[in-house]
């Protein structure tokens, strides 16, 4: 009998999925609390179990070495940057993860944030909350007619392209993969990174967090962005030099920015949050009931479909 332990507390919000998983795997264990596990707590919780259905839990060397019975980790998360394939392979642990399970929710947020930032909604809302009515005058901008650049045109980036179709924008996109067929179908111009940075009135980031993207947006790269542009990041933290970004937002070189993710989270003390033209949210791109349901369903179904994680092969490239 396969022994399954579930570390994510999200099943409490979906009793029908919880009942289905329990029926598939009699004796399955579910969490009764919602705090982040320490290494020792994760070890104690998973001791003696074959399969872990997880959210954002870190399977370190210490954790994996202490769990000789663990054979499969089935992820309910949107990303895999908390998983080390070298460690998993060392201990003979296979995994399941499906890309794009939250693509609709994140894509909708990205388009929402484009309009939000262009219209300076955060700035004007703050003025109102501080007791003024309009305060310093200044106009926002329409999304219609803008050149929207998409850096990373995978599952989420493609959904952003589809959602932007009614807005009358020019879409340019940059991706390491060949997206030519998709680009032709959806009227997207494929460009290199230099052209993307130079031409985008609005730039939205949809890159994974890995060795090729961590720190990609350096001070020098930020200086290449079109003056007065608007920047959106609903992807992953750690892609930007946030100190350099704060300088460019404060100076107006970047007119506005809206970020859902940060290099260090929680990001409550991040200096970017003090800037009136910087809108922030606490990593909520996938926090919709539809996304949660899709991620839990993926984790459930993936128990029987694990694969060997490989360094240099997607999603660990």
Catalytic center residues:
236, 265, 283
Calpha distance 47→69 (Å, rounded):
8
Calpha distance 61→295 (Å, rounded):
26
Calpha distance 59→75 (Å, rounded):
12
Calpha distance 270→246 (Å, rounded):
10
DSSP state of 256: E
Calpha distance 271→280 (Å, rounded):
11
| CA distance readout (Å), 150 to 98, 160, 162, 180, 281 | 22, 8, 12, 14, 20
Calpha distance 161→186 (Å, rounded):
7
To the nearest 5 percent, what fractions of the chain are helix, strand and coil? Answer: 40, 15, 45
Q: Which residue has 């392209």 as its token pair?
A: 161
Residues 6 or more apart in contact with residue 220 via CB below 8 angstroms: none
The tokens of 281 are what? Answer: 């949210």
């Amino acid at each position: 009998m396969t022994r399954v332990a579930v570390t994510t507390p999200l099943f409490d919000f979906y009793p029908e999925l919880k009942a289905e998983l329990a029926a598939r795997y009699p004796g399955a264990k579910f969490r009764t609390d919602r705090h982040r596990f320490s290494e020792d707590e994760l070890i104690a919780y998973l001791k003696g179990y074959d399969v872990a259905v997880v959210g954002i839990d870190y399977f370190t060397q210490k954790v994996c070495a202490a769990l000789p019975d663990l054979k499969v980790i089935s992820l309910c998360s949107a990303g895999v940057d908390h998983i080390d394939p070298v460690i998993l392979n060392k201990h003979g642990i296979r995994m399941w993860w499906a890309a794009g399970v939250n693509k609709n929710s994140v894509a909708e947020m990205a388009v929402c944030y484009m309009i939000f930032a262009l219209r300076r909604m955060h700035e004007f809302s703050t003025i109102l909350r501080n007791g003024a009515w309009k305060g310093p005058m200044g106009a926002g901008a329409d999304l219609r007619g803008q050149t929207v650049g998409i850096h990373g045109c995978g599952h989420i980036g493609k959904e952003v392209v589809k959602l932007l179709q009614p807005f009358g924008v020019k879409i340019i996109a940059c991706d390491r993969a060949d997206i030519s067929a998709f680009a032709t179908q959806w009227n997207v111009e494929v460009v290199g990174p230099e052209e993307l940075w130079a031409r985008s009135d609005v730039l939205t980031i949809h890159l994974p967090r890995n060795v090729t993207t961590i720190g990609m947006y350096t001070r020098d790269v930020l200086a290449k962005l079109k003056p007065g542009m608007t920047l959106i990041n609903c992807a992953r933290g750690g892609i930007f030099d946030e100190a350099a970004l704060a300088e460019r937002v404060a100076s107006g070189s970047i007119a506005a920015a809206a970020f859902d993710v940060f290099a260090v989270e929680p990001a409550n003390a991040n200096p970017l949050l003090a800037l009136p033209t910087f809108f922030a949210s606490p990593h909520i791109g996938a926090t919709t009931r539809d996304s949660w349901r899709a991620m839990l369903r993926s984790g459930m179904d993936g128990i029987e479909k694990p694969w060997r994680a490989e360094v240099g092969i997607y999603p660990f490239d």
